[in-house]
Amino acid sequence: MIVDLRSDTVTRPSKAMREAMMNAEVGDDVYSDDPTVNSLEERVAALFGKEAAVFTPSGSLANQLAIRTLVKPGEELLCESNSHIVRAELGAAATFSGITTRTWTAARGLLNAEQALELARPDSGPYLVSTTAIAVENTHNFGSGTVQPLDEIKRLYSLATPLGLKLHLDGARIWNAHVASSVPLSEYGKYFETISVCLSKGLGAPVGSLMISTKERVATARVWRKRYGAGMRQIGILAAAGHFALDKNVARLSEDHARAKKLAVACNSVVASTVNPAEIETNIVGLDLTGATWTAAEFAGKAREEGVWVSALGPKYVRLVTHLDVDDLGIERAVEVLQRLLKSAFVPK
């Protein structure tokens, strides 16, 4: 038995999802002729109370299309320093759009409006880089699936708007935030000018993200999507997986959250400093191995030998992610292996 906790991207489409894909009505999406893509774009835009959306093959592209409609070349986007946009998109904002970034650092990636705004320098004239947008990641991936408090988002919006700053939501896991906090998706839509969402993380689709915004920004994003070489044809097959995921796999995210909590409680009960279960709100558990005699890579290597796959994302940082393809039995197995390994890892050599 293999329990793959490396990421929520490792899910395989279920038989029922594949059937939905097989039966999808399709057309040439570059001609806007694919009815399944069109209905998915309309559906997702409406969920967030927005005018329009465009389907993309990845969340990185959805983020990049969004921020390039917000920030001109030579202007800057502010981000948290462990956010996906600055840490995991390989410099795309600089490479493709001439956008610079500056970052603030927050424990667990938790948003604090003042901390973000302290960096902001809108309309800086000829001497300093002008800030035009701020990105917020919700949930925060490297922060261990942190849900951003709605009050803090509202505060950021109300302080940033008079300065002429726009907000972008990296909502790859906004579904998890929505399920964990009960904040309606349309509520998030009120504060963010642009939003990216993924169908291929917790929702279990094989591929697919969307960039969501005004009609005008989405029209611009469509031009750039084609220019980047991501104009696609009969992708109703993929959009059908997205529809299926939205129908079936949103509410069940609470199961992933409960299983992540179980993992956190189990690890904490062996070595309390590895994780605070109270901080685990969604499907990501970061384990801090500070004080262990093993590195994160050594820990991940030994876990893998026992069929439990985890990610070593820092010298002493291990990440566990629950998802659609890990059930209660898998969690039991993972708990047994992780507890045993933690005992060994924290025994002096």
Ligand X SMILES: *Cc1c(COP(=O)(O)O)cnc(C)c1O
Residues 176, 144 contacting (CB under 8 angstroms): no
Spatial separation of the C-alpha atoms in residues 48 and 51, rounded to whole Å: 9
Half-sphere exposure of 127 (CA within 13 A, CB side): 2
Give yes or no for residue 67 binding ligand X (CB under 6 A). Answer: no
User: Which residues lie across from 194 on neighbouring strands?
Assistant: 168
Nearest distance, CB of residue 151 and ligand X, angstroms: 21
Nearest distance, CB of residue 63 and ligand X, angstroms: 6
**CB of 59 or CB of 204, closer to ligand X:** 59
Residues in contact with ligand X, shown as a per-residue x/- string from 145 to 184 under the rule CB under 6 A = -------------------------x-x------------
Spatial separation of the C-alpha atoms in residues 8 and 10, rounded to whole Å: 6
Give yes or no for residue 101 binding ligand X (CB under 6 A). Answer: no
- The stretch near ligand X (CB under 6 A) out of 58-66, 148-156, 266-274, 335-343 is 58-66
- The stretch near ligand X (CB under 6 A) out of 39-47, 59-67, 73-81, 232-240 is 59-67
Give yes or no for residue 283 binding ligand X (CB under 6 A). Answer: no
Chain residues 20-49 in contact with ligand X, contact rule CB under 6 A: none
269 three-class SS: helix
Name which position in 137, 193, 256, 281 contacts ligand X (CB under 6 A): 137
Q: How big is the CA angle at 88 (ends 87 and 92), to the nearest 5 degrees?
A: 95
Q: How many C-beta atoms surround the C-beta of residue 212 within 10 A?
A: 32
Give yes or no for residue 11 binding ligand X (CB under 6 A). Answer: no
Residues in contact with ligand X, shown as a per-residue x/- string from 181 to 210 under the rule CB under 6 A = -----------------x--x-------x-
Question: How far are the Cα atoms of 85, 221, 267 from residue 94, in angstroms, in the given order?
Answer: 11, 17, 40
Residues 105, 80 contacting (CB under 8 angstroms): yes
Kindly list the residues in this chain that would bind ligand X in the complex (CB under 6 A).
58-60, 63, 84, 137, 141, 170, 172, 198, 201, 209
